[in-house]
């Protein structure tokens, strides 16, 4: 794994932006894997800025997001579809039909997972996948114990994950208990992966990801076995590696 050492959140976001733009500029039909959470917000701000400065076009770009809460519709401010529309999609010239986020309100969530997986397979490959790091080592919403051979599936969220994400909701009771997430094998098939890590609370999980054993107990550890992973980590996150 290649580790790019940056000073702070802003530098991490700028670096991630330039790596993503390399792909968008060089692929004829780029396919991006995107993430939500606080970590990639700065990356999205940088992408919008580049678009506004006419440095890039997204008209031939396709995106697949990692995950979505079960039970939240696209107009729910806490849904990941809403997050993506607000933080990125509505500010750039990407075509609506080329942006993909699993539906949280599909009548049959299992079928939704199959359909989503199918769409990714039809796109042939994800050129570059952006990941954040959960405090318990989750990637997407693949919680500890998830099989490394999982494809897109419905997960029960850990109490710790619901607590970590409760800051976005009125109360912990409003945080959904389930989500749809790309599977670990789905993520691992991406041609390249960029993991963004910022802040002191990620120092412990980052150390375990880099130095710990590869184990389903710590999903992010699988990244050690991928041939093209770049970790962009700021100073605060690097104190234990």
Which residues does the annotation mark as catalytic? 67, 136, 138, 143
Q: Nearest residue to ligand GLP, using CB?
A: 132
Q: How far is the CB of 146 from ligand GLP (least distance, A)?
A: 13
Q: How far is the CB of 93 from ligand GLP (least distance, A)?
A: 25
**CA–CA dist 161, 52 (Å, integer):** 35
CB 18 within 8 Å of CB 239? no
Which residues make beta-bridge pairs with 63? 32, 99
- In the complex with ligand GLP, which residue's Cβ is closer, 27 or 204? 204
90 burial class (0-12, 13-18, 19+ CB within 10 angstroms)?
exposed
Q: How far is the CB of 41 from ligand GLP (least distance, A)?
A: 8
Helices (H) and strands (E) in the chain, counts: 7, 10
Which residue blocks in 33-108 are alpha helix, DSSP H? Answer: 41-52, 80-87
Q: Which residues bind ligand GLP (CB under 6 A)?
A: 35-39, 66-67, 132, 134, 140-141, 161, 165
- In the complex with ligand GLP, which residue's Cβ is closer, 57 or 201? 201
List for the chain the helix, strand, coil content (%; round to 5): 40, 15, 40
5 — phi, psi (to 5°)?
-90, 120
- In the complex with ligand GLP, which residue's Cβ is closer, 47 or 53? 47
3-state secondary structure of 195: strand
Q: How far is the CB of 213 from ligand GLP (least distance, A)?
A: 22
Which residue blocks in 36-192 are alpha helix, DSSP H? Answer: 41-52, 80-87, 109-122, 159-165, 184-188
* Count of all residues that appear for the chain in the document: 241
- In the complex with ligand GLP, which residue's Cβ is closer, 44 or 141? 141
- In the complex with ligand GLP, which residue's Cβ is closer, 56 or 241? 241
Q: How far is the CB of 35 from ligand GLP (least distance, A)?
A: 5
């Amino acid at each position: 794994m290649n580790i790019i050492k940056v000073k702070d959140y802003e530098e991490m976001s700028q670096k991630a932006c330039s790596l993503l733009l390399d792909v968008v500029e060089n692929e004829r039909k780029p396919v991006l894997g995107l993430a939500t959470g606080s970590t990639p917000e700065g990356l999205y701000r940088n992408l919008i800025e580049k678009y506004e400065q006419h440095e890039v076009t997204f008209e031939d770009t396709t995106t697949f997001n990692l995950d979505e809460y079960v039970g939240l519709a696209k107009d729910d401010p806490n849904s990941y579809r809403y997050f993506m529309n607000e933080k990125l999609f509505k500010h750039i010239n990407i075509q609506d039909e080329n942006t993909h986020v699993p539906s949280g309100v599909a009548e049959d969530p299992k079928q939704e997972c199959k359909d989503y997986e199918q769409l990714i397979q039809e796109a042939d490959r994800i050129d570059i996948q952006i990941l954040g790091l959960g405090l318990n080592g989750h990637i997407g919403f693949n919680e500890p114990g998830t099989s490394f051979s999982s494809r897109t599936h419905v997960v029960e969220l850990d109490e710790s994950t619901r607590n970590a994400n409760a800051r976005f909701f009125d109360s912990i009771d409003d945080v959904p208990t389930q989500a749809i997430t790309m599977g670990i094998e789905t993520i691992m098939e991406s041609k390249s992966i960029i993991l963004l890590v910022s802040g002191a609370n990620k120092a412990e999980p980052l150390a375990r990801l880099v130095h710990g054993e590869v184990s389903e107990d710590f999903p992010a550890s699988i990244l050690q076995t991928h041939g093209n992973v770049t970790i962009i980590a700021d100073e605060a996150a690097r104190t234990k590696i």
